[in-house]
Structure 1
Amino acid sequence: MIELEKELEGFYNYFLRSLQAIADDENPGKVWSIELYEDFFSPYEAVVTWKALSENQQHGLKLLADMMDAYRLTYDDKEKIDDEIRNDPKWDQIRIFAKKLYNDLKHVKYVPNE
């Protein structure tokens, strides 16, 4: 069980929602995946360093960040249409991995700051 201070609850829930959105298999395409990228990386730098996370959880988040960075380069370099992203096996790997991480990280017990 991960324990975090109560003040981090909103921040962490925002991060979990972004992770859950990445895991959603109803990805509508390029604009949405760019938005997901930004929503994930906004809190990522802080969350990945939290001592409450295990080394495996931190490693998993770093791996997902690397996967998303590498994937973003594939559509920054050329114009991909929505269906190409939606049906891309590489995006599907990211989605599946994000779902696994989400399921691991969603069980957080918030503790008040004492």
Structure 2
Amino acid sequence: MVKTVINFIFILTIASGCVQENMSTNEEINSFLKSYFNALEKNDIESMVELSVDKRFSSKDEQKENYLSMDTKIKKIKLIELDKKSNSEYEALISFTDEKYYEITLPIIKKGNKWMAVVGNDL
């Protein structure tokens, strides 16, 4: 009986560690998305470049130069759903408006110890 209780406690400890790790990752991603959404809404070019990988450009300097010339005002960004693809890849279904309403899937990847939005895939 004592051995069964000890095994049960051991299993619960392992399971709670897995849940805690998953919650931490979700919290990291939600924090990242909050920062990225704030950068987009405030048109904070430096942060937008730092927090994203834009496949349309070959360098961060080119990315920044092009972002500076854009005249889009993104507003009302909301996370609709977050889908885990792997430990280092997620997809966020988000909505936002500029002059129209959009719903898009935003890939999120972990590069080193940093989460990044991947943009420019569909363009």
The structure with the largest strand share of the pair is: 2
Q: TM-score normalised by the shorter chain: which range applies?
A: under 0.3
The structure with the largest helix share of the pair is: 1
Larger Rg: 2
How does the TM-score come out when normalised to structure 1? 0.25
How does the TM-score come out when normalised to structure 2? 0.24
